[in-house]
A = this chain, B = another copy of it.
Amino acid sequence: MKTRQLTELAQQLRVDSVRAADAAGSGHPTSSMSAADLMAVLLAHHLRYDFERPAHPANDRFILSKGHASPLLYAAYKAAGAINETELLTYRKLGSRLEGHPTPRRLPWVETATGSLGQGLPVGVGVALAGQRLDRTGYRVWVLCGDSELAEGSVWEAAEHAGYEHLDNLIAIVDVNRLGQRGPTRHGHDLDAYARRFRAFDWHTVEVDGHDVEAVDRACAEAESTTGAPTVILARTLKGKGVRAVQDHEGLHGKPLPDPAEAIAELGGVRDLRVEVQPPPAARTLHPVHSGHLELPRYEVGDEVPTRDAYGQALAALGSARGDIVALDGEVGDSTRAEYFGKEHPDRYFQCYIAEQLMVAAAVGMATRGWVPYASTFAAFLTRAHDFVRMASISGSGINLVGSHAGCAIGQDGPSQMGLEDLAMLRAVHGSTVLYPCDANQTAKLVAAMADQDGIRYLRTTRGKTPVVYGPTEEFPVGGSKVLRASFEDRLTIVAAGVTVHEALAAADALAEEGLRVRVIDLYSVKPVDRATLREAAARTGALLTVEDHHEEGGLGDAVLDAFLDGRPVPRLARLAVRTMPGSATPAEQLHAAGIDAGSVMAAARLLVEHAVLV
């Protein structure tokens, strides 16, 4: 396109952004207008993309990190012929694919859900890593960022990693319109402030007038020809560019234009230009995934094995059987045992250092390209990436998260290292699967099973050794449970998972010696829960006692409730959980102090059964 045409295209994108927001009665047209020239140049001259084949292995990827500028994205889709005028004007309406912030659940051309700022670049790093080390079809990853979001630390985790990994297939374009939501950004139009920061993280930088389409075009070309480093194009722009009533004005973030008709006239009226987006080069299919026989590790019943060891060994085995498995580490692979995978499959092992947000975002990015990522760190430190997990669920992303060092059972290291909130966090994620195995064979089976679940899957592992209670041929369906002790005389059911299964078993056996028979359920699938088994146990035994190495809110005890929400009578319930703030102590002392060891289970069981009331 000639300069004049590019400018016209940009004006069309502005006009269509104004129209979409006007039709919706909400949205962010001014944030779209600042980036319209950037988008026009990218779409017309640089992006290589087949809108009819969004999964094309050589398609460039485009991520709108400033997701609130969705009118601009949808206007671009219209210009590219992917959506029509009628659909554009459904923006933000019930049932429309064109949500307030773009999501891949609805639109096939969206790589990842955005709208929580500072996530597009880290996810882009994941896609670019996949491009550089796995797919190798030559695609580029373009990420359009806002300037406000550069305040997010996750952006600098991403910048650090992209520079370190020499991701020259990654190009960030920053729409420096100097205005955030409530006022000016820290650095306003000081492009050099941003350039110094990116350069310090080993990026190539280009500063440009973001409304000069020729200059933007040259900047994109320079980025494309830069090797050995990612490029950031810092574009000086004006929010609301092109309409005097709003241009560069504060206080107009996230508002439709006051007089859309006048604005459209000022922008030169409605156009219907169509862009022929450059197609990607021919390329082989997504990636060759070899598939072989899965030979999971097998453990002897009675042996003592940490479930984290089983995770590492099973993941390594899964990686041998399936070529689409990748693993990401947050610089604790020796603790989580992810390094077992790294040693066997170094080409599919990604060291993310101590940057949990980047680690999860990179997993999301790799999943967009069809890879099946396992990202692991201490369960406690997954809280660092909570917002990324939340957004991944909005994307419908299929990622596996594994948190080690669950609960107070870790012992001496103290509360900062204990995962005591992770079950609550992961259960509350829409569509998640939450698994918590108690022994090594169960862990191995669940590591393999989780790969094929939908949505976010979480596995919680234990630091210390636990006895192997299941044989290597036992199966553990997601959504199931195991009844480990049962008799016709059971007067109570103890529901446990992970480390507390062993406490519950010890308690049940000791109580049996006393003449009190109790049922024990291993609820390894915390979400979804095995409603039928819980219901039946409750009906037969009259009461349930849950015991968990987690804070009392949102964990196993709350999960059990899910089986009793159908309006039918509920059994008597009691819960043992970590109610105090632990300090340092041995694992056994911790379980005792928290009141979740076998002795505490026995005491609670006796009260529940013998007095029928706990307090």
Chain A residues in the interface with B (C-beta under 8 A): 24-27, 67, 92-96, 98-101, 103, 105-106, 113-118, 148-149, 151-157, 160, 164, 180-182, 185-186, 196-197, 199-201, 251, 253, 329, 331-335, 339, 353-355, 357-358, 380-381, 383-384, 386-387, 390-391, 393-394, 396, 411-417, 420-421, 424-425, 427-431, 527, 543, 551-555, 557-559, 561-562, 564-575, 580-581, 583-586, 589, 593, 607-608, 611-615
A566-B200 contact, Cβ under 8 Å, with A100-B412, A152-B153, A181-B334: no
Bound Cα distance from A158 to B452, whole angstroms: 39
A553-B428 contact, Cβ under 8 Å, with A353-B180, A561-B573, A568-B572: yes
Which residues from chain B contact A94 at a C-beta distance below 8 Å? 583-586, 589, 593
5 contacts between A and B (CB under 8 A): A151-B353, A197-B197, A380-B387, A424-B424, A566-B615
If A100-B584, A152-B153, A424-B554 are given as contacts, then 14 extra A-B residue pairs at C-beta distance below 8 Å, sorted by A number, are A94-B593, A101-B413, A101-B414, A114-B416, A115-B415, A117-B354, A151-B160, A152-B384, A200-B200, A425-B425, A429-B551, A430-B580, A567-B614, A570-B573
Closest partner residue, chain B, to A611 (CB atom): B567
The reply to whether B567 and A557 contact each other, CB–CB distance below 8 Å, is no
In the complex, which of the residues B106, B553, B574 contacts A427, with contact meaning CB atoms closer than 8 Å?
B553
Closest partner residue, chain B, to A590 (CB atom): B94
A553-B558 contact, Cβ under 8 Å, with A116-B381, A386-B383, A420-B430: yes
From A199, A420, A561, A564, name the one whose CB has the most chain B CB atoms within 10 angstroms: A561
Bound Cα distance from A574 to B561, whole angstroms: 10
- CB A308 to nearest CB in B, in angstroms, measures 14
Which residues from chain B contact A113 at a C-beta distance below 8 Å? 415-416
- CB A542 to nearest CB in B, in angstroms, measures 10
- CB A146 to nearest CB in B, in angstroms, measures 9
From A253, A357, A569, A571, name the one whose CB has the most chain B CB atoms within 10 angstroms: A569
In the complex, which of the residues B67, B106, B155, B182 contacts A332, with contact meaning CB atoms closer than 8 Å?
B182
A354-B567 contact, Cβ under 8 Å, with A99-B583, A425-B428: no
The reply to whether A429 and B425 contact each other, CB–CB distance below 8 Å, is no
Which residues from chain B contact A197 at a C-beta distance below 8 Å? 197, 200-201
Closest partner residue, chain B, to A198 (CB atom): B200
Top 9 closest A-B pairs, CB basis?
A: A153-B153, A115-B416, A567-B614, A424-B428, A200-B200, A554-B554, A156-B156, A570-B570, A94-B585
Bound Cα distance from A585 to B154, whole angstroms: 30
- CB A415 to nearest CB in B, in angstroms, measures 5
Which residues from chain B contact A199 at a C-beta distance below 8 Å? 196, 200
The reply to whether B554 and A584 contact each other, CB–CB distance below 8 Å, is no
In the complex, which of the residues B105, B181, B414, B553 contacts A99, with contact meaning CB atoms closer than 8 Å?
B414
Closest partner residue, chain B, to A26 (CB atom): B412
The reply to whether B566 and A182 contact each other, CB–CB distance below 8 Å, is no
A581-B105 contact, Cβ under 8 Å, with A412-B100, A425-B424, A566-B613: yes
Bound Cα distance from A114 to B482, whole angstroms: 39
The reply to whether B543 and A567 contact each other, CB–CB distance below 8 Å, is yes
Which residues from chain B contact A339 at a C-beta distance below 8 Å? 182
Which residues from chain B contact A391 at a C-beta distance below 8 Å? 416
Which residues from chain B contact A93 at a C-beta distance below 8 Å? 584-585
The reply to whether A417 and B101 contact each other, CB–CB distance below 8 Å, is yes
- CB A290 to nearest CB in B, in angstroms, measures 28
- CB A592 to nearest CB in B, in angstroms, measures 9
In the complex, which of the residues B115, B394, B553, B573 contacts A527, with contact meaning CB atoms closer than 8 Å?
B553
Closest partner residue, chain B, to A565 (CB atom): B575
- CB A356 to nearest CB in B, in angstroms, measures 8
Bound Cα distance from A254 to B384, whole angstroms: 22
A570-B572 contact, Cβ under 8 Å, with A394-B415, A417-B100, A554-B553: yes
In the complex, which of the residues B429, B552, B583 contacts A106, with contact meaning CB atoms closer than 8 Å?
B583
Bound Cα distance from A538 to B181, whole angstroms: 46
From A253, A428, A554, name the one whose CB has the most chain B CB atoms within 10 angstroms: A428
The reply to whether A380 and B116 contact each other, CB–CB distance below 8 Å, is yes
The reply to whether B334 and A567 contact each other, CB–CB distance below 8 Å, is no
Which residues from chain B contact A562 at a C-beta distance below 8 Å? 552-553
The reply to whether A354 and B148 contact each other, CB–CB distance below 8 Å, is yes
Bound Cα distance from A425 to B573, whole angstroms: 23
- CB A597 to nearest CB in B, in angstroms, measures 14
The reply to whether B427 and A554 contact each other, CB–CB distance below 8 Å, is yes
Bound Cα distance from A151 to B359, whole angstroms: 11
The reply to whether B558 and A92 contact each other, CB–CB distance below 8 Å, is no
The reply to whether A358 and B153 contact each other, CB–CB distance below 8 Å, is yes
Bound Cα distance from A26 to B585, whole angstroms: 11
Which residues from chain B contact A26 at a C-beta distance below 8 Å? 411-413
Which residues from chain B contact A386 at a C-beta distance below 8 Å? 383-384, 386-387, 421, 425
The reply to whether A570 and B571 contact each other, CB–CB distance below 8 Å, is yes
Which residues from chain B contact A557 at a C-beta distance below 8 Å? 561, 565
Which residues from chain B contact A567 at a C-beta distance below 8 Å? 543, 572-574, 607-608, 611-615
Bound Cα distance from A412 to B90, whole angstroms: 12
Bound Cα distance from A180 to B182, whole angstroms: 40
The reply to whether A584 and B157 contact each other, CB–CB distance below 8 Å, is no
Which residues from chain B contact A153 at a C-beta distance below 8 Å? 152-157, 355, 357-358
Which residues from chain B contact A573 at a C-beta distance below 8 Å? 561, 564-565, 567, 570
Which residues from chain B contact A589 at a C-beta distance below 8 Å? 94
